[in-house]
A and B are shown apart, each in its own frame.
Chain A
Amino acid sequence: MDDPLIIAGREFRSRLITGTGGAANLSVLERALVASGTELTTVAMRRVDAAGQTGVLELLRRLGIEVLPNTAGCRTSAEAVLTAQLAREALETNWVKLEVVHDEETLLPDPVELLDAAERLVDDGFVVLPYTNDDPVLALKLQDIGCATVMPLGSPIGTGLGIRNPHNIELITSRATVPVVLDAGIGTASDAALAMELGCSAVLLATAVTRAQDPERMGAAMRCAVEGGRLARLAGRIPQRFWAQASSPGL
């Protein structure tokens, strides 16, 4: 069944967007990415002398995976805009996963700074994929100013707490006209499947795979979960009932 994910006019066969953070080494990362089937993967921008791990760009190019730079670590709109502009210069892409977080303990998006940065980047010609709170109003505002997706969190980054407010995610997917990407909080395959069942167009995750005991196998699990959840969404689930209903004919 041909059912591509389309973001800003670009088609992807995989509905799983991955991060590269948290992997023990590049070899583990490579096997996990291949197993996940992802076609779009985030990288962060850091000072050259503090970079430590290099080679991630070469890996993604070799695997034919599109690079999606993020603005991880930015606390203000100004920082995020400059980081996005540097990423565009370094990586020759005008796509950016926009992250503007408020504090290190929660890593929750700062909605005021986020919306301001998103507006400035859209005006500057970027394809903006904003990491946002599970706030249906903010999601609509991000869409209305021209973001290519909205990417609400399921729960805080790296917690693996899954989707804490499924109704909010459903409110977002029911009103958004751009793709909704569930970003952050995924712990295991059922969380990814639920995101798709709630109407998300894709799932973005990193930690759940890279820090799993077997990242390659979890990458494969996430691929299956996203595909299964998407199929279930398209198939249309049965309504929930209070009382039992026999599935065999009566005697």
Chain B
Amino acid sequence: MKAQVNGTSRDLAEGTSIAAVVALVGAPAKGVAVALDGAVVPRALWEKTIVPDGGVVEVLTAVQGG
């Protein structure tokens, strides 16, 4: 199945969790947040939340700015 991860189309295995996607993009251990289809997925739900086919995942962290 396909999903958009940080703007890039990715082939993901069925049943891929948000936690797996976070690992896939190489996110740091702290200071990271995830949105699935425009809504925040709390960290506590990363393991049990499965990315749907066509899902849009954004993995964000803090950078220098402002």
Is chain B a partner of chain A in the same complex? yes
Which A positions have Cβ atoms within 8 angstroms of B? Answer: 19-23, 29, 42-54, 56-57, 67-70, 72, 82-83, 85-91, 97, 99, 206
- A-B contacts, 29 listed (Cβ < 8 Å): A19-B65, A19-B66, A42-B65, A42-B66, A43-B62, A44-B62, A44-B65, A46-B60, A46-B63, A47-B58, A47-B60, A48-B25, A48-B27, A48-B28, A48-B32, A56-B64, A57-B31, A70-B66, A72-B66, A82-B35, A82-B39, A86-B33, A86-B35, A86-B58, A86-B60, A89-B42, A89-B43, A90-B62, A99-B66
Interface positions of B from 20 to 40, Cβ below 8 Å from A? 25-28, 30-35, 38-40
Q: Please, how many angstroms separate the alpha-carbon atoms of A240 and B33 in the complex?
A: 54
Q: Mostly helix, strand, loop or mixed at chain A's interface?
A: mixed
Q: Which of B62, B63, B64 has the most CB of A within 10 A?
A: B64
Which B positions have Cβ atoms within 8 angstroms of A? Answer: 6-8, 25-28, 30-35, 38-40, 42-43, 58-66
Residues of B within 8 A of A57 (CB): 30-31, 62
Taking A53-B63, A82-B35 as known contacts, 16 extra A-B pairs with beta carbons closer than 8 A to each other, sorted by chain A number, are: A21-B65, A22-B64, A43-B64, A44-B63, A46-B63, A47-B7, A48-B6, A48-B59, A49-B8, A51-B61, A54-B63, A70-B65, A85-B40, A86-B34, A89-B42, A97-B66
Number of cross-chain contacts by CB at 8 Å? 104
Q: Please, how many angstroms separate the alpha-carbon atoms of A42 and B65 in the complex?
A: 7
Residues of A within 8 A of B40 (CB): 82, 85-86, 89
B33, A43: Cβ atoms closer than 8 Å: no
Residues of B within 8 A of A45 (CB): 33, 60-63
Residues of A within 8 A of B30 (CB): 57
B66, A44: Cβ atoms closer than 8 Å: yes
Q: Please, how many angstroms separate the alpha-carbon atoms of A78 and B14 in the complex?
A: 30
B27, A43: Cβ atoms closer than 8 Å: no
A82, B38: Cβ atoms closer than 8 Å: yes
With A19-B66, A44-B64, A86-B60 in contact, do A50 and B35 touch (Cβ < 8 Å)?
A: no
Residue of A nearest to B40 (CB): A85
Q: Please, how many angstroms separate the alpha-carbon atoms of A159 and B40 in the complex?
A: 34
| Min distance, Cβ A101 to any Cβ of chain B, angstroms | 12
Q: Please, how many angstroms separate the alpha-carbon atoms of A182 and B51 in the complex?
A: 43
